[in-house]
Amino acid sequence: MLATINNHTVNLNEPIDISLPLTGNGLNPIAWYLEQPVIEPVTMGSWIGKVGQGSSTNFNNIFFNPHAHGTHTECLGHITKDFYSINQALKTFFFMAEVISIQPEVQGDDLIVTKAQIESALSGKQVKAIIIRTLPNDATKQFKNYSHSNPAYLHHEAAAFIRESGIDHLLIDLPSVDKEKDEGLLLAHKAFWNVTDVNSLNSDARQNATITEMVFIPDAVTDGTYILNLQIASFENDASPSKPVLYKLLDN
């Protein structure tokens, strides 16, 4: 089915899902020193919420952390003293987006996505969302345990450049835009959201901007401009599991 979104024609029957599913089978990406998520039937006395064990329905509890277990979208409430909800921050869901691929630079023991790399890859494109695929694009990203692995991250100057470019939605295939162990500095988060004081929010902080982490962009998806549909579950929380979906522009 063809549709016009942001003045571009897309085929809604050809979505490109770049989210990673939340599973209970041990094949789930995890980070931040947590164990795998748990999906299991409710048990009340002798009753078990599983059709295969005599129940009329399957009735599961799900135990997970949105930041640690798969694709998630967060708002500035992730780093502020006061509460801000992703469900209130994200109120529109279709955006012009640019997919870029970057080989992080080796700097000491770290792998860093730099401002120069982002600036070169964007080439002046005016979009509202950026989707960063880091290279090599190893398939193990889909079930990797990132804890204690010092994964690549985004330099805070790159995050500031993205903000200054008018981009409101930053998506990346890493567990965080910041260094895993950075003594709580969170420089890239702060630069992107323009947060200068986590205890007292500055008036120009970007309350409607979002960061989405742990996406996975298959190699078959070429760099370029797409329509992004960014959907979350309606959690009143700083972050929610999310399902970013891309659509090719048919009129390019």
pLDDT of residue 252 exceeding 90: no
Mean pLDDT of 179-188: 97
How many of the other CB atoms lie within 10 Å of CB of 162? 25
Number of domain units in the chain = 1
How many of the other CB atoms lie within 10 Å of CB of 165? 16
Q: Is residue 26 very low, low, confident or very high in pLDDT (cuts 50, 70, 90)?
A: confident
Please report the pLDDT score of residue 32 as a whole number. Answer: 98
- Residue 214 belongs to a domain with what CATH number? 3.50.30.50
Please report the pLDDT score of residue 180 as a whole number. Answer: 98
Q: How far apart are CA 71 and CA 22, in angstroms?
A: 8
> Which domain, by its residues, includes 79?
2-21+70-248
Mean pLDDT of 49-56: 97
User: How much of the chain exceeds pLDDT 90, in percent?
Assistant: 97
Q: Is residue 82 very low, low, confident or very high in pLDDT (cuts 50, 70, 90)?
A: very high
Residue range 53-81, pLDDT digits in tens: 999 999 999 999 999 999 999 999 999 99
Residue range 157-176, pLDDT digits in tens: 999 999 999 999 999 999 99
pLDDT of residue 106 exceeding 80: yes
- 37 domain residue, yes or no: no
Mean pLDDT of 225-238: 98
Contact 39, 21 (CB under 8 A): no
Mean pLDDT of 84-103: 98
Helices (H), 100-219: 115-122, 156-164, 187-193
Length of the chain: 252
Strand partners, 242: 232
Long-range contacts formed by 119-125: CB under 8 A, 24+ apart: 119/161, 121/223, 122/98, 122/165, 125/98, 125/225
Q: Is 57 helix (H, G, I), strand (E, B) or coil?
A: coil
- 57 domain residue, yes or no: no
Q: Is 12 helix (H, G, I), strand (E, B) or coil?
A: coil
Please report the pLDDT score of residue 50 as a whole number. Answer: 98
- 93 domain residue, yes or no: yes
User: Of 167, 233, 202, nearest to 76 (Cα)?
Assistant: 202
Q: Is residue 202 very low, low, confident or very high in pLDDT (cuts 50, 70, 90)?
A: very high
- 8 domain residue, yes or no: yes
Torsion of CA 188, 189, 191, 193, to 10 degrees: 160
**Residue with token string 């801000």:** 84
pTM above 0.95, yes or no: yes
Distance of alpha carbon 199 from the chain centroid: 25
Please report the pLDDT score of residue 39 as a whole number. Answer: 97
pLDDT of residue 90 exceeding 90: yes
Contacts of 69 (CB under 8 A, 6+ apart): 22, 28, 29, 30, 34, 36, 37, 241
Mean pLDDT of 199-209: 95
- 48 domain residue, yes or no: no
pLDDT of residue 140 exceeding 80: yes
User: Of 64, 72, 218, nearest to 141 (Cα)?
Assistant: 218
Q: Is residue 251 very low, low, confident or very high in pLDDT (cuts 50, 70, 90)?
A: confident
